[in-house]
Amino acid sequence: MADDDLTEVARILIEHGPLSTDDIVARLQAEGVPDAVKVATAGLAETDHPVVDLNDGRWVWQPYVVLGRILTHRVDADEVTADALVVDPDLDPITGLCLHGRYQRLVDGSAVSLAMPGWDDDLLLQRGVSPESVDESGVLLLEPGTLRALKIADGDLVGVRLSAAGLSLERVETTLPAADVGATLAASLPADEPSFLDSTVLELCVADPLLFTEPMPPLTEIVESQGLVRRYGMVARPDFDFDQWRFERDCDRLALRHDIEPDDALALRTLMTIYDQMSGMLTRLVDVPDEPVEDDAPIADDGGHGDLMAEFGAALAEPLLAELFRNETVGKGGSPAALGLFAETLEPQVPRSARVALRWLRAVALELTGQIEEAEREYLAAESMDTEWPLTLFDLARFASDRGDAERALALLRRAGTEPDHPLTQLLEQHRPTPRDDLGRNDTCWCGSGRKYKKCHLGREQLPLADRVGWLYFKACQYVFVTPWRELFVDVADARDAYLGEDDELPEDPLFVDAVLFEGGAFADFLATRGVLLPDDERLLAEQWQLSPRSLFEVQEVESGRRVQVRDVRTGDVYDVHERTASRELRPGQLICTRVAPAPETYEFFGGIEPVALHERDQLINVLDSDPDPVDLVEFLSRRFAPPTMVNTEGDLLTLCEATVRVNADIEPLLDNAYDRAEEDTPAWLDHVMTHGNSHISATLTLDGDRLAVQTNSERRMDRVLAAIADLDPSMTVLDDVRRPLRDTADVAELASTMPGSAPSGVDRDDPAVVAAMDEAIRRYEAAWLDEPIPALDGYTPRQAADDPTRRGDLIALLDTFPVLEGAVGMDAERLRAALGLAQPGR
């Protein structure tokens, strides 16, 4: 890695490490670095560099610590077959380097990578490795056949070594005795808590420059030889109770996260443990459905925790703890069935004041399993046990809202102490029906029942359906957030967040929840589950919404503040949409992605309005026609937030790649056969690639003795050249491989700022002859550009786009982004417009 690519923090650690954060800040301040604390914080959070923290709070530059060290691992038959080495714990202190580009090739040029469960599942499955069997540290994937080439079989030792040339893999025949190392490792561990094993090994390496410089037994065997216990990537002294330690840590986290007293956190964590055990029991019963059950077996067994349940279950009388218990169990994807069993088992054993909480939890479990009417009965039963317990009242208010009874819902929310600015309260206030002003309280009711108005419909009026459309949509949205569907909502929001800059806040976008509802299937689930509660007219309207998919629309007419007429590009259907806000922004001819759904006597937009560029029209239609899942849909629609990407003529992302390879001295004739020599008398070559009918330089190679320097502008090109060199010289060794992505124009600007201001080779940019030559070159490039496929034009050439009425708008918009030159040398948008027949009158 080049020094100018290092952060200030990395440089200081290389020169002075290991250091604490305070020491790093002090050294930065001593060097006059502005905002030293901010620079240190950013540098230590940097993931592109191998800066790691030790157990004692110090930070180190990992390559300098493990340079010259070798760690061993005893392989099994599965690892040999898959060429995939389990890294935890034996290899973790070294193989963590493989997360960084420089260490993703061995010294022999073969590729290695760390595959993580949950991130690289497809890659693991391709190797025949089950992601469920992989520890969170991952496995080290080698090129197929690597272990067999080293003659490594089941039970053999393999070593991973870091030398100045890079990482290497070797067969280990013998190892040094490990007793002294094991004793030193054991003595370094604190008495009352575990330590991360990889950090502990790095600390020992910092203290002893000779440690692990010769092969020793695997760390697993060293740990076992000392009777140490190991779990969660950590190691502790013999007889250390990891379960108790983890329990106490969880209690501390609960107290801190929810700002509750330690005794309350203890009660909450104890009850969660009992719930987890019941969940595990139910899972085992499901996995073994044919297991015989005795006739006199109890319906619900407390698992021997009766005393604990009675003691700690009393804490659930506090609504906050009951709500936290729900959120920490089924609120994080736990089993509703286990929650029901827990509540049923615990209710008879707790004090009367806490029984309302258990009845409420039973209702929650029923609601989560779709038993809506049964759940409502349990909520009502809980209300009868304690008429002021807020959680029951709030959930009954949700049911009243779904039934369309705003007055009862508001009354329940007031009893529950809900704040006036709560979204549900505000929504219900907006949908309170007003009494009829054409009837007196004692007049006969308008409905024809014969009863007095005050006894029949006064206070129970219902708004027209047209005024309840927003309320109905809110009910569906609320369903997403009180059920496991909210997990999909988070995934959808993350799909857009990935395209926003670090300083951009994630907007409250209506697309997210709408995509979960319709593309995700939550709306169909809402209707199937809670449709029984909806008023008949709302349920019929909701069923019509299911027949209104998201589509691509062209704006045809706009009446600002009133309506928008749109045409479905996919079907040709035309809709008049009642829309006050968006109609002030939309313009005829604009393409938008949205859902147009019926409302009484009109249509409305749902799920936000996403602008669509003309060159993305066909791609979006293909996406919509493929029945996309919500994450894929939002990911596509979020690309407009991404900065423009920089690509080469082959479409690869621009990455400045420089590699140095040691080769045999007699490789020069082979390079002459494989590449074009740059000049007859210099040992330099060019690799060319044909794109769009033209030849372009894709790589340069320069030979200096036995060192071959390779430069490309993409990783794919670099990999291609390195593979070709390996074919020419199988003994070649990669000495250095630096790759710097140019993700967007900001990266290019940053790179340019580090370069000299003068032109290369001393060219004087003020020389008229030079300016004329550069202008001529620009004009030749402009002429060629007119017939080049342009990504921003969906692969069309500018001439093709100019001749296509459906593409011309994109071409005009692209040319409008070209800078005004004002005497500078560069592509001239006016010349291009004239060449394409797009010159504007008067310009």
Question: What tokens does 227 get?
Answer: 């009777």
Last residue of a domain, one of 204, 236, 268: 236
Picking from 718, 765, 760, 709, the residue whose alpha carbon sits closest to that of residue 740 is: 718
Q: Is the pLDDT reported for residue 842 higher than 50?
A: no
> What's 522-586 look like in SS3?
HHHHHHHHHHHHCCHHHHHHHHHHCCCCCEEEEEEEEECCCEEEEEECCCCCEEEEECCCHHHCC
DSSP state of 598: E
Q: Is the pLDDT reported for residue 296 higher than 90?
A: no
Q: Are 601 and 487 in contact (CB under 8 A)?
A: no
Encode pLDDT of 740-749 as tens digits.
Answer: 877 555 555 5
Q: What percent of the chain has pLDDT over 90?
A: 55
In a shared domain, residues 45 and 114: no
| Mean pLDDT, rounded, of the chain | 85
**DSSP codes joined into one string, 710-726:** EEESSHHHHHHHHHHHH
What would the mean pLDDT of 610-617 be, rounded to a whole number?
A: 85
Distance CA 282, CA 167 (A): 48
In a shared domain, residues 795 and 698: no
- Residue 833's contacts (CB-CB under 8 Å, 6 or more residues apart) are 815, 839, 840
Q: How many CA atoms lie within 13 A of 386 on its CB side?
A: 19
Picking from 251, 267, 344, 378, the residue whose alpha carbon sits closest to that of residue 313 is: 267
- Beta strands 139-142 and 229-231 are unpaired
Distance CA 343, CA 359 (A): 7
In a shared domain, residues 147 and 86: yes
Q: Is the pLDDT reported for residue 283 higher than 90?
A: no
Q: What CATH number did the domain enclosing 668 receive?
A: 3.30.70
In a shared domain, residues 588 and 680: no
Give a yes or no: residue 281 inside a domain.
no
pLDDT score recorded for residue 106 = 92
Question: What tokens does 743 get?
Answer: 């993700």
Q: Across the strands, what pairs with 736? A: 660
pLDDT score recorded for residue 782 = 78
pLDDT score recorded for residue 821 = 58
Domain that holds residue 813: 764-835
Q: Is the pLDDT reported for residue 483 higher than 70?
A: yes
Give the strands of the sheet with 157-163, arranged side by side: 70-74, 157-163, 166-172
Q: Is the pLDDT reported for residue 287 higher than 60?
A: no
Give a yes or no: residue 30 inside a domain.
yes
What would the mean pLDDT of 833-837 be, rounded to a whole number?
A: 88
In a shared domain, residues 488 and 636: yes
Q: Are 45 and 10 in contact (CB under 8 A)?
A: no
Distance CA 67, CA 426 (A): 64
Encode pLDDT of 813-832 as tens digits.
Answer: 778 767 665 555 567 888 88
Give a yes or no: residue 38 inside a domain.
yes
Distance CA 44, CA 60 (A): 10
In a shared domain, residues 631 and 508: yes
Residue with tokens 């029209």: 617
Q: Are 194 and 233 in contact (CB under 8 A)?
A: no
Amino acid at 272: M
- Beta strands 139-142 and 157-163 are unpaired
**What angle do helix axes 469-481 and 423-430 make, rounded to 10 degrees?**
160
Count the domains in the chain.
6
Distances, alpha carbon 32 to alpha carbons 15, 36, 246, 605, 754, in Å: 17, 8, 44, 56, 20
In a shared domain, residues 746 and 771: no
pLDDT score recorded for residue 4 = 39
In a shared domain, residues 741 and 626: no
Give a yes or no: residue 392 inside a domain.
no
Distances, alpha carbon 232 to alpha carbons 137, 184, 550, in Å: 10, 21, 46
Residue with tokens 């759904």: 597
**What angle do helix axes 262-287 and 306-313 make, rounded to 10 degrees?**
140
Can you point out the beta strands (E) in 81-224?
Answer: 84-86, 112-115, 139-142, 157-163, 166-172, 195-196
Q: Is the pLDDT reported for residue 756 higher than 50?
A: no
Q: Across the strands, what pairs with 154? A: none
In a shared domain, residues 68 and 205: yes
Could you tell me the end-to-end alpha-carbon distance of the chain, in angstroms, rounded to an integer? Answer: 51
Chain centroid offset of residue 811 CA? 34
pLDDT score recorded for residue 210 = 93
Alpha helices by DSSP H, 55-117: 62-66, 77-82, 92-95
Give the range among 221-230, 448-457, 521-530, 702-711 with minimum mean pLDDT: 448-457
Chain centroid offset of residue 470 CA? 31
Encode pLDDT of 323-334 as tens digits.
Answer: 999 999 998 888
Picking from 311, 418, 393, 323, the residue whose alpha carbon sits closest to that of residue 361 is: 323
- Beta strands 112-115 and 139-142 are antiparallel
Q: How many CA atoms lie within 13 A of 315 on its CB side?
A: 22
Distance CA 470, CA 482 (A): 19
Give a yes or no: residue 686 inside a domain.
yes
Reduced to 3 states (helix: H, G, I; strand: E, B; else coil), residue 91 is: coil
In a shared domain, residues 32 and 126: no
pLDDT score recorded for residue 679 = 76
Give the range among 152-156, 226-230, 737-741 with minimum mean pLDDT: 737-741
Cα angle 627-628-629, degrees, rounded to a multiple of 5: 125
Q: How confident is the model at residue 839 (pLDDT cuts 50, 70, 90)?
A: low
Residue with tokens 């994807």: 333
Give a yes or no: residue 317 inside a domain.
no
SS3 content of the chain, % helix, strand, coil (to 5): 50, 15, 35
In a shared domain, residues 524 and 587: yes
Q: How many CA atoms lie within 13 A of 40 on its CB side?
A: 20
Q: Is the pLDDT reported for residue 630 higher than 60?
A: yes
Give the range among 129-133, 160-164, 243-247, 368-372 with minimum mean pLDDT: 129-133
Decide which of 810 and 299 is more confident: 810
Q: Is the pLDDT reported for residue 153 higher than 80?
A: yes
Residues in the chain: 843
Q: Are 538 and 402 in contact (CB under 8 A)?
A: no
Picking from 664, 730, 668, 727, the residue whose alpha carbon sits closest to that of residue 701 is: 668
Q: What percent of the chain has pLDDT over 70?
A: 87
Last residue of a domain, one of 755, 788, 813: 755
Q: Are 360 and 416 in contact (CB under 8 A)?
A: no
Give a yes or no: residue 268 inside a domain.
no
**pTM of the complete model:** 0.70
Picking from 70, 63, 72, the residue whose alpha carbon sits closest to that of residue 17 is: 63
pLDDT score recorded for residue 286 = 60
Distance CA 649, CA 693 (A): 11
Q: How many CA atoms lie within 13 A of 166 on its CB side?
A: 26
Q: Are 476 and 542 in contact (CB under 8 A)?
A: yes
Give a yes or no: residue 209 inside a domain.
yes
pLDDT score recorded for residue 771 = 65
Decide which of 455 and 756 is more confident: 455
Reduced to 3 states (helix: H, G, I; strand: E, B; else coil), residue 440 is: coil
- Residue 510's contacts (CB-CB under 8 Å, 6 or more residues apart) are 606, 607, 608
Q: Are 631 and 495 in contact (CB under 8 A)?
A: yes
Distances, alpha carbon 512 to alpha carbons 59, 151, 517, 609, 684, in Å: 40, 54, 9, 12, 54
In a shared domain, residues 685 and 828: no
Last residue of a domain, one of 203, 236, 269: 236
Q: How confident is the model at residue 504 (pLDDT cuts 50, 70, 90)?
A: very low
Encode pLDDT of 425-450 as tens digits.
Answer: 999 999 988 766 667 777 787 676 77
